Structure 1
Amino acid sequence: MWLPIQINEQSAEPLYHQIEVQLRAIIVSGQMEEGTLLPSIRELAQLLKCSVITIRRVYQDLENEGLLRTKQGTGTFIAMVGNDMRDKHRRSAVIEALEHAVEAGLRVQCSDDEMVEMLQEILQRKREMGSNN
């Protein structure tokens, strides 16, 4: 099974975090249905060219959050994600990204108004790109 996970080896973000954030987004966005069997830890490690320990940690973290479930001898599956949990994860993912953006803006001394203006420009551009597809 192919998962649309992209690793940025130049990123300061740990590898497990990059994978975890992307897999969480795939699950909470509904791109993968409940009950979908994920690749084994070993398979996904080979696909992403990383260690088995990294994938084990990702799967364990997401299982602890209730997004995955593991059946011994069968594999790891997407768990049922209710609307409340989906909304909570969607919201926290966006808040985390916005916090990073605000920190970057503050580091280069952007004003609040400048940052709000940039966000509005990006939203408009992304919406226009989406309507052109």
Structure 2
Amino acid sequence: MELPIKISQQSREPIYHQIENQIKALIASGQLQTGSPLPSIRALSKDLEVSVITTRRAYQDLEYQGFIQTLQGKGTFVADINPALKQEMKHDSVSQALSQAIDTAVQHNYSKKQIKELFQSLLDSRGDL
């Protein structure tokens, strides 16, 4: 199973944290259901072209936080997550993405008004909302 995870080498965020956050987002959105198997640490490391140590760190953090569970000899699976926690994760994920977008706009000297207009324009152009 290949996870739709994208690593940004330009990001200041550590790679293990990028992996962790994207797996949390996949769980929160329902793309990864309770009990879904995750790729092995080695397989995910190979897919993402990152070190096994980096992937292991992400998995260890996710397991410690209760998002995944490893069953000896069987593999790693999505844990049963409280629905309220899933909602909080979704909110945090969207907030973080929007915050990064705002930071980028500010770096390009956009005014608050320009950011709002751009956001509204992009939102209006989405036919699926």
Q: TM-score range by the shorter chain?
A: 0.7 to 0.9
Indicate yes or no: 2:15 matched with 1:15: yes
CA shift, 1:96, in A, is 1.0
Quick one: distance in 1 between partners of 2:100 and 2:44?
28
One-letter code of the match for 1:20? E
One-letter code of the match for 1:111? S
Question: Which sections of structure 2, spanning at least 5 residues, go unmatched?
Answer: none
1:82-123 deviations in whole A, cap 9, x for unaligned?
220111000001111122122222233322221111111111
- With normalisation by structure 2, the TM-score equals 0.86
Runs of 4+ in 1 over 6 A off after TM superposition: none
Show the counterpart of 1:113: 113
1:53-101 deviations in whole A, cap 9, x for unaligned?
1111111122232211122332211011222011100000111112212
Question: Which sections of structure 1, spanning at least 5 residues, go unmatched?
Answer: none
Indicate yes or no: 2:50 matched with 1:50: yes
Q: CA RMSD in A?
A: 1.9
- With normalisation by structure 1, the TM-score equals 0.83
Percent sequence identity is: 43
Show the counterpart of 2:31: 31
Distance 1:37 1:9, change over 3 A: same
